[in-house]
Amino acid sequence: MAGHQERQAAETIHLAGKWRTALSGVTREILDPADAEPFALVAEGDERDADAAVAAARRAFDEGAWPHTSVAERAALLHRVADLLVRDREELGLLESRDAGKTVEEGRIDVDCVADAFRYFADLVVAEGAGRVVDAGSPDVHSVVVQEPVGVCALITPWNYPLLQASWKIAPALAAGNTFVVKPSEITPMTTIALVELLVEAGLPDGVANVVTGPGHTVGARLGAHPGVDLVSFTGGLVSGTKVAQAAAAGVKKVALELGGKNPNVVFADACATDDGFDTAVDQALNAAFIHSGQVCSAGSRLIIEASVRERFVAELARRAGRIRLGRGTEKDVECGPLVSAQQRARTEAYVASALAEGAVLRCGGKRPEPSRSRPADGYFYEPTVLDQCHREMKVVREEVFGPVLTVETFRTEDEAVALANDTEYGLAGGVWTADAGRARRVAGRLRHGTVWINDFHPYLPQAEWGGFGKSGIGRELGPSGLAEYREAKHVYQNLAPRAVRWFAG
């Protein structure tokens, strides 16, 4: 990519402005999930690399200029990064496809969204005032609450949307004046490395942005527990997120966790009363469940359908799901790529097997596709799968699969639909499909999920908070609250006419 700092293969650890290999010298091959062939080599960092990166970020925060740089300068740098992302859109989209298995078009869309996030947070900090004046009840007191950067941030990102999730953390962290260490998933680190290269090219001072490639049980665990870290932001699975929170608790650090979801897509019969309405609801149910092979934290993996239209709806849904074109994400006309790893495909297969054993009815998919030119035999492909006649006691309905698997549950009343949609330990997102505007608002208001779409599924806005209820996590990304996660509030009280209090007589 034009303008990037030259570095050698496996020099993927960046600290204090320099790229280098892991201190141990260990490397990891990054596999293309479409054919399981290695296409990149990265450093396999460990706790020592994490310590060095935190030390670099600590020096840059405590002794460097970035935390004290003007808002206008910080915003200008974020805008330069957005411009560079646009310049490198094609290359980054392709790299995201090879790294995570998604289609190139999905990768390009991710780049667009990342550029939007950088621009949003740049504009947000510029638009803010200097502080919130507090009326102390006296003309002799000037009292103001100001927002300051929290300090050194440990940013731990997932494998499914590596570039997007990194940007949701990096952009507000920089806008607020923090320094950071980012640890991308060891499976999909390539676009995060590329993003840090763009930060360097945009002129970010040395030590502000640091990256350590390596596994979660070493690098991630050390970052979560490190005494030099002030905030930990983690996106990933519930089990790992719980460990991060436990590690951070010992140091009483700020913690932000986005831990996924088991998201309902509720379809009322009146949404399907016309041919266009039916077609749109089916189409969106496919999008909700099978974009990026279902490897989406907000995937609408639970279809909750009104009984009177269930059979017609599910039959058409299964027919269309069976026609989804699977293949290498870099190839033209492919609609859905492979799963990210052999482990993730095996996990998906295990969930489908358990569902069938518990009485689910397979309507389509449920197996690996036949190999073809665009689907190499060694790729991690799995057919989009629809499981009918599911119920809440099934493991596949309760737990996050993170694969192309859609379960079907049925309701007869509005209250039953709401109860089913809320019957989950998660609460990230959900959809409601109805032609009744009153019902739409009523049901949306009753759903215990951080994002609710009405007659749509999946769109998000950088201006609107993203996060969940329950075990979907703590805190929010995006929106003003997403910036607030990376700040500390300070009350400055100035007495303009000090005098002795005389509380103590002597």
Question: Which residues are the active-site residues?
Answer: 258, 297
Pairwise CA distance, residues 279 & 424, whole Å: 28
- Give which of 225, 149, 228, 218 is closest to 183, Cα–Cα: 218
- Give which of 61, 5, 463 is closest to 195, Cα–Cα: 5
Angle of CA points 194, 199, 200, to nearest 5°: 95
Containing H/E element for 38?
A: strand 37-43
Q: Which residue is associated with the tokens 């739409």?
A: 440
Lookup: tokens for 357: 């054993």
Q: Are 401 and 236 in contact (CB under 8 A)?
A: no
The Cβ of residue 29 has, within 10 Å, a number of other Cβ atoms equal to 11
> End-to-end distance of the chain based on CA atoms, in angstroms?
73
Pairwise CA distance, residues 179 & 163, whole Å: 18
Containing H/E element for 42?
A: strand 37-43
**225 vs 30, 156, 246, CA distance in Å?**
27, 13, 9
Lookup: tokens for 400: 């996050």
Class of residue 322 by CB neighbours under 10 A (exposed 0-12, middle 13-18, buried 19+):
middle
Pairwise CA distance, residues 376 & 256, whole Å: 39
Pairwise CA distance, residues 481 & 463, whole Å: 10
Lookup: tokens for 91: 């290359």
Pairwise CA distance, residues 384 & 407, whole Å: 11
Amino acid at 449: H
Helix (H, G, I), strand (E, B) or coil at 182: strand
Lookup: tokens for 326: 């699977």
